[in-house]
Structure 1
Amino acid sequence: MKDKIKHFLAGSLAVVCVVCITAFAALAVYLNRQNEQAIAQLGSIYMANINERISKHFEAISDQCLIPMTTFSENLPPTCENNKEAYYQWMTYYGHSRDYESISWCDDEGNLETIYGDPLQYSGPPIFLETLKNGESRIAVGYNGSGEQVVLMCAPVRLSVPGMENCVAMIGELPISYLSEILSLDTLEDKSTLIYSLVIRKDGTFVARNSAAVRDNYFDRVRAVYAETDGQTPENYIAELEAAMQAGSDYSTMVQVDGVRQHMYASSLPNSVWYLVTFMPYGALNESVESMGTRSLSASAAVCAVILLSLIAVFLRYFTLNRAQMKELEEARRLAEEARIAAEKASRSKGEFLSNMSHDIRTPMNAIVGMTAIATAHIDDPQQVQNCLKKITMSSRHLLGLINDVLDMSKIESGKMTLNEELVSLREVMDSMVSIVQPQVKAKHQKFNISIFNITSENVHCDSVRLNQVLLNLLSNAIKFTPEGGSIEVSIYEEESPKGGDYVRIRISVKDTGIGMSKEYQTHIFESFSREDNKRIHRTEGTGLGMAITKYIVDAMGGEITVDSRQGVGTQFQVILDLQRAVEQVEDMLLPDWVMLVVDDDQQLCESTVDSLRSIGIRAEWVLDGEDAVRMAAQHHEAHNDYHVILLDWKLPDMDGIQTARELRRQLGGDVPILLMSAYDWTEIEDEARAAGISGFLMKPLFRSTLFYGLKPYVGAEEVQTAKEEQAPEFSNKRVLVAEDNELNWEIANELLHDLGLELEWAENGEVCTEMFQRSDPGYYDAILMDIRMPIMDGYEATDAIRAMDRPDAALPIIAMTADAYSDDIQRCLSHGMNAHVAKPIDISEVTRILKKYMDD
């Protein structure tokens, strides 16, 4: 009985399979015939337009290469208009961004000069050169230095760059495969493709072809493999095609190749002297229809298989369950591996951050310790002590910002970084940088110079700590990889910002004469733990994190950083930032109509300094060495028209600044002030300099404010004209309630703020602060300085309670004065109704500014 049932089930299964296969096969044959008819109709319509679409696609793609090349070559930045080398760098940047393997330029005699990449060879007809001279773009084929055939994108260009006045075109090199990519030239063997195309010249030679075309000339292929079609021989076909190409017209016909009937259509390609020849094999269409029939039969077989498989599904249940269990185990292993990788990434992130912070913290600490030692050694010199304290203050502020980052562990865990926008003085930032790196430069006996050009907006809004980090990383690298006696130059430029008039573009360049980097390594320099594997740097310490973090900061600030380096020559980093201008009013700086002499071996610095002096009312002349300075000063002295002030660089060639000052004093006497300017620490030579006749010192870079305040002491009080004299705000009859639970902090605040004329009262915690305010008469307090972390009632609760009181002065200014200094803390203070936030340790100038802002309102 079991055998009968098995036979019945087997027979039934066989019958069902036969019926299903037969029914689905018949359906597949019917659908295949219908598809064949539809495809034939669509093919006839498609062939009429396909060549035009390919030509338009070719024209659009080639124009995208040719038009930007002309625009990019002619719309040059000011630095490239009269500098061939700068123009080459400009075009190299463009070429790499457009994936050109080389760029050359062609003169009016057809000679090529390579800007970058391998030299090109091209032996085109004279009419090609005449076409370029007439301002028409062309695409041609040439050969590179390796003899390989390449595509040449030729764009007409006329330049006024010295040495390139006879330029008629820029030529960019692309691989020959580029033609196949933009024309979609499929091979004849690709049976899934309905059409294929060739590109030929008018003499029949191939520009681009499929793999079936083994000969170098298309006409030779026609004679060899084309059969007579509809009474037309291969020679008739060649003659008609040549006539159409000479006339510049399209050509269409039927051909038979290897027994396959094909439709051929030829038309000219834009921006070239080539012809596109496109074929549609009808055999491919037939194969497509057959393929569709095969797929129909396959689908029928699949349905039958499903029916069959359903009968044995019970026997596969165990296998299915087993596979499910294996998948669960594999998923568990995958999740465990992802967790391990995430943990390693988090650990590496912490290591990178802390390693970099260790280096950054030691740098300002070095300046603080050094300046403290100098101040101690010159304790009887108030001016020297004041200068040291100023540098210690700047380094301390930077150090405080770095410590805040180290303590903010959430930044390490998440890999995120927030920017704290604040009012920043570029002059103070650069003065701070100079002070910090001076000991390192001095230890390696390096030449260090810092210059500014066209800086009109000294005050901007940005994250000063992050900006300091970027500059310190760049300067530390320059000092580290520059040998003893080498040179380091820092330049700062102001340019118009593409963001509009409320912004200013600051470009910072750090250039050194160090060991340099290879071209290959320059592409990896901004990666974490990236250091060049070279014997020249094996003795140089570093984790390879500084540039990666610098790039991260610059990107977060919306800026751009680039590097240009040559081994054995040096390295130049450029940082470009668009910063918002400060809207605060500044002092209108104006000095008497003096005549000054500026002496420096850097002509750009001289010209920039003269422009800055002119902006504060001073006429100035400049020379490049001490000998000319002595000569010009003597001429003015003999004419009884002495310079009012002489500004003298310390590190002059041949005769240095001290020697020059000594000679000037011998000729001029002691009436003319002589100021020594330098980016170095002059404390060690101060006695010698004053003995030589130096009246004072100015630290580079020479901002407009640096010059004004440096020269102001040498002007009589009645001569100085200012629209607004700098003076401390007056807070007489102003009473402030200070909520602070730490007695020492209260004493510091009381000492600092009392000097401003404020009357201060102390509340030991938030509850006492609330009670004192509630008991006071309306208007008794003008403001409240509120600590956040206090016992009994914290600053947030106290502020909420005060704001909720029904009294007219409940809206008085409440300013958070706390060590909770992160951006989240600031937002939380503002959300609880506080007007502003000041971070501890107290910056008295910032507290003064905020108090004046809110109490004057």
Structure 2
Amino acid sequence: MEVVRMKHRPMRMLVCSLVGIAALCVVVFSVVTEHMQEKGAETIRYIGESYMSSMSRQVTMHLGATLDLRIDQVSDMVEEARSLNAEQLRTSARARQFDYLALYQPDMPPEKTLYPILGSRLVPDDPEGLKNHMEAGEDRIDMGRDQLDGRIILISAPASGEITVDGRTGTGLVAGVWSSYIDENLQHELEAGMVESWAVIRADGGIVGRAPGFHVSEGPDFLAWLRGRENGGDIASELQKAMEEGGEFSFPLTTESGEANHVYCGPVPASSWYLLLNTSYGPVNSGIDGLGSSWTSTAFGGCAVILIALLTVFGWYIAVTRRQLHDLEEARRAAEEASQAKSQFLSNMSHDIRTPLNGIVGMTAIARSNTDDPEVMTRCLSKITSSSRHLLGLINDILDMAKIDSGRMTLNMEQVSLREVMQELVTIVQQQVKLKSQSFDVYIDNISVEDVCCDSVRLNQIFLNLLSNAIKFTPEGGNIKVTLYESPSPKGDGYIRSHLQVKDNGVGMSEEFVSHIFESFVREDSARVHKAQGAGVGMAITKHIVDAMGGAIRVKSQVGVGTEVDVILDMEKAAVSESDMHLPNWPMLVVDDDESLCMSAAATLKSLGVHADWTTDPNEALEMAEKQKNSSGAYRLYLVDWHMPGADGIEVAKELREIAGDNVRILLTSAYDKDDMEDAAKDCRIDGEIAKPLFKSTLYYGLMKYMGDSPEAEPPGEEEAEEEHDLAGRRVIIAEDNDLNWEIAEELLSELGLELVRAENGRVCVELFGKSEPGEYDGVLMDLRMPEMTGYEASSVIRAMDRPDAKTIAIIAMSADAFAEDVQRCLDCGMNAHSAKPIDVKTVAMLLERYMPEKK
């Protein structure tokens, strides 16, 4: 028995030891597990808090960098404002994706401090704070509202000195974006769950703005809400102290639903704001709950989760950074493209100006070399005048682009002769067509109303833009065809619908580009058009003008085939009494290679009382002349086109002369330069020339020289009769600070018999009038921009004088400031009328006669 007990004793001891060791292991493992669980939980919480604080700091830094970039962009626009106009600033602001842009005017009332350049008027929440920062030369970010009480983030940048926009002077620029900009900026973080919600507060705890998901505060004061929570007073005090010192602060926070959150507070650059970012402990708590099964597996699992999370966040952060850099690069490229388009417009604008300028320079050179030939001098001066008017209209259009783009373009309605418009258009482009050896034809079909009411400058601009494009993109030797015809207007009998068609066989355009042709600064990127100069605004301006006139424009084009542009305008008939146009019914033959032109000319001649035969074949014309020469219906007048394919009009005319004899009239017709026709027709026994387009009045007055009793008949407007102006002995003050302008005015206006007295500026003008006897001066021609006192100020002072003639003396503005608002401002200051420079003597004389008091 003893032996048996001795055998079992070690076994019991082993079992007990095993059990004890097992129990000890269980106890130790349990204690260690529990301890490691607590330490692990604390460690995970610490890591989570550090992670969320770091990420929150990165979000704040990212937002700060974005706002700093925005401030730099506004500062750049402040410098741009010194050289760009308002429209260019608007384009720059849009390129930088600003919703608003305003000029800061410190001397205006608070509600008008910000003069709108882009978007509606803005009103800052803290006008005094904005003023203080502007005066101190400091950038600032603040809140404001627009006219619809929308919340706007205001980004202001002061200027080193004054800047001027739209004639207004300020000390800086204020740009604006919607308050949702912060939410959009943090959208990636919100979507990724890194930040659940945000709020922007002031140092006193007032909430400036918050995301819809920011539910950790009720009411407008975050600090007051925080103090009302359990143990929240100390946190609120520390948070307020950190904000007062401009530092950062983070703290844990439990919501009403018991959810654990972490809140980070950091300052927003260039403002008195602080950004609150709210993140949740939810993902971290999920990791802690899984720690109960095994601290080892939990540790490894936690590490794996953390590593995966870190790798995910890191990879996401890299992707977001790359995406943001890409967006910034796209924005930079867009801004550079916009700037390059503006620069290209300025550098290429010379092409559009050279069209009439070439006519001025060329005709001036011809006039200089023919000073002893009055007839040549007269023709050259007439063409110089015509080209100068078109050049002035073109410059006005370029300067008026801002008004066109903003939809504030105004039309100056006046009586216009379509015949004169087309003749001047042909005169301007003849040289370009000639240099490129292009075939240029003008067709006038079924035009019964030649005088209409419209804006002549805008109408010329439409025609010239379309024809310049056709010439520019049609190669040498190409064909250009201009057609003008009319049809009944749907507006009624008082209107006529005019159709203008410009067709060429040039390089053409792709279907894709045609859909963008009316956009500003757009040119087709093709090797076919690289040699063609242009700014890319002509068709955009044309479309705006046509729309303003209530018309329509259509473009059809095919690459390598050509382009056709159709413009339709409903224009009011001018209230003029047309003279009875009737010609003797002489037998007449029209010879032209174009059948449409022959039929149109024959129809127009029929309306003048002349039956005309026509043919497109020069050989057939010779046969018809031979056949009719001995009959009672022998032709007495021939109209022969100068340029016909396969035949020269000069040679055809010579053969017709040999057949018909010296008793018939042979006239050349052409859309080319009349001077060139005259040179080609010398010593060829040709009686005269008629320049196309062949309007009814053109044919009537052109043929009357050879058919009627008045061989010197000229169409109205061809040689304008000099009007008699009864201005002799009238004394007029000319307020003009520029010596050259005074010399020109004195030379031109003294020929009217006026006694002129110069005032070098507005103050001298006021003194001259104030010291004169009542009635000593009959009028004042007032420049607007003068030193010491402007024309506006001088006119107001004169009208306010206590003397009998202060209200009756004629004050006429004579200035290069010729926009509609300039004219209206002149009238508001007491002036009677406005005459734009360059000086039009007839207009000035007419205005003086109209407004000067009658002679006593």
Q: TM-score, normalised by structure 1?
A: 0.55
Distance 1:518 1:339 in 2: 28
Partner residue, 2:831 = 834
Distance 1:809 1:321 in 2: 67
Is the alpha carbon distance of 1:660 and 1:362 closer, same or farther for their aligned partners in structure 2, counting shifts above 3 Å?
same
Conserved? CA contact 1:516–1:568, under 8 Å = yes
Q: CA deviation at 1:831?
A: 1.9
Distance 1:591 1:809 in 2: 54
Conserved? CA contact 1:517–1:567, under 8 Å = yes
The one of 497, 505, 522 aligned to 1:505: 497
Conserved? CA contact 2:555–2:566, under 8 Å = yes
Q: CA deviation at 1:693?
A: 1.9
Distance 2:626 2:778 in 1: 62
Query: Does 2:756 match 1:737?
Result: no
CA deviation string 1:769-813 (max 9, x = no partner): 456656777777665432223345432233334434553683354
The one of 403, 418, 438 aligned to 1:426: 418
The one of 778, 783, 791 aligned to 1:795: 791
Query: Does 2:811 match 1:820?
Result: no
Conserved? CA contact 1:419–1:463, under 8 Å = no
Partner residue, 1:565 = 557
Distance 1:749 1:359 in 2: 31
Conserved? CA contact 2:412–2:454, under 8 Å = yes
Conserved? CA contact 1:592–1:719, under 8 Å = no
Partner residue, 2:709 = 716
Can you give the 5+ residue segments of structure 1 that lack an aligned partner in the other structure? 1-307
Partner residue, 2:744 = 748
Distance 1:580 1:473 in 2: 23
Is the alpha carbon distance of 1:386 and 1:341 closer, same or farther for their aligned partners in structure 2, counting shifts above 3 Å?
same
The count of residues paired between Structure 1 and Structure 2 equals 544
Amino acid at match of 2:638: I
Amino acid at match of 1:493: Y
CA deviation string 1:385-429 (max 9, x = no partner): 3323222222222222333455569669x7666345253443333
Amino acid at match of 1:508: L
Is the alpha carbon distance of 1:478 and 1:736 closer, same or farther for their aligned partners in structure 2, counting shifts above 3 Å?
same
CA deviation string 1:161-182 (max 9, x = no partner): xxxxxxxxxxxxxxxxxxxxxx
Conserved? CA contact 1:598–1:646, under 8 Å = yes
Distance 1:643 1:527 in 2: 54
Conserved? CA contact 1:593–1:619, under 8 Å = no
Conserved? CA contact 1:589–1:616, under 8 Å = no
The one of 460, 474, 477 aligned to 1:482: 474
SS of residue in 2 equivalent to 1:432: helix
Q: CA deviation at 1:510?
A: 0.7
Amino acid at match of 1:740: A
SS of residue in 2 equivalent to 1:455: coil
Q: CA deviation at 1:663?
A: 2.0
Distance 1:770 1:535 in 2: 62
Q: CA deviation at 1:489?
A: 0.2
Partner residue, 1:446 = 438
Is the alpha carbon distance of 1:738 and 1:592 closer, same or farther for their aligned partners in structure 2, counting shifts above 3 Å?
farther
Q: CA deviation at 1:839?
A: 1.2
The one of 382, 387, 391 aligned to 2:379: 387
Q: TM-score, normalised by structure 2?
A: 0.55
Query: Does 2:672 match 1:677?
Result: no
Distance 1:452 1:856 in 2: 47
- Tell me which structure has the larger Cα radius of gyration: 2
The one of 232, 256, 263 aligned to 1:318: 263
Is the alpha carbon distance of 1:784 and 1:592 closer, same or farther for their aligned partners in structure 2, counting shifts above 3 Å?
farther
The one of 783, 806, 810 aligned to 2:807: 810
Amino acid at match of 1:731: H
Is the alpha carbon distance of 1:835 and 1:579 closer, same or farther for their aligned partners in structure 2, counting shifts above 3 Å?
farther
Query: Does 2:696 match 1:700?
Result: no
CA deviation string 1:62-120 (max 9, x = no partner): xxxxxxxxxxxxxxxxxxxxxxxxxxxxxxxxxxxxxxxxxxxxxxxxxxxxxxxxxxx
SS of residue in 1 equivalent to 2:644: coil
Partner residue, 1:366 = 358
Conserved? CA contact 1:469–1:550, under 8 Å = yes
The one of 381, 387, 392 aligned to 1:400: 392
Q: CA deviation at 1:313?
A: 6.2
Q: CA deviation at 1:844?
A: 3.1
Distance 2:356 2:447 in 1: 26
Amino acid at match of 1:729: E
Amino acid at match of 1:316: N
Q: CA deviation at 1:577?
A: 2.5
SS of residue in 2 equivalent to 1:811: coil
SS of residue in 2 equivalent to 1:701: coil
Conserved? CA contact 2:590–2:598, under 8 Å = yes
CA deviation string 1:418-443 (max 9, x = no partner): 34525344333323332232222223
Q: CA deviation at 1:462?
A: 4.0
Q: CA deviation at 1:700?
A: 1.6
Conserved? CA contact 1:589–1:722, under 8 Å = no
Distance 1:738 1:642 in 2: 66
Conserved? CA contact 1:474–1:510, under 8 Å = yes
Is the alpha carbon distance of 1:774 and 1:541 closer, same or farther for their aligned partners in structure 2, counting shifts above 3 Å?
closer
Is the alpha carbon distance of 1:718 and 1:528 closer, same or farther for their aligned partners in structure 2, counting shifts above 3 Å?
closer
Distance 1:589 1:808 in 2: 48
Distance 1:325 1:342 in 2: 33
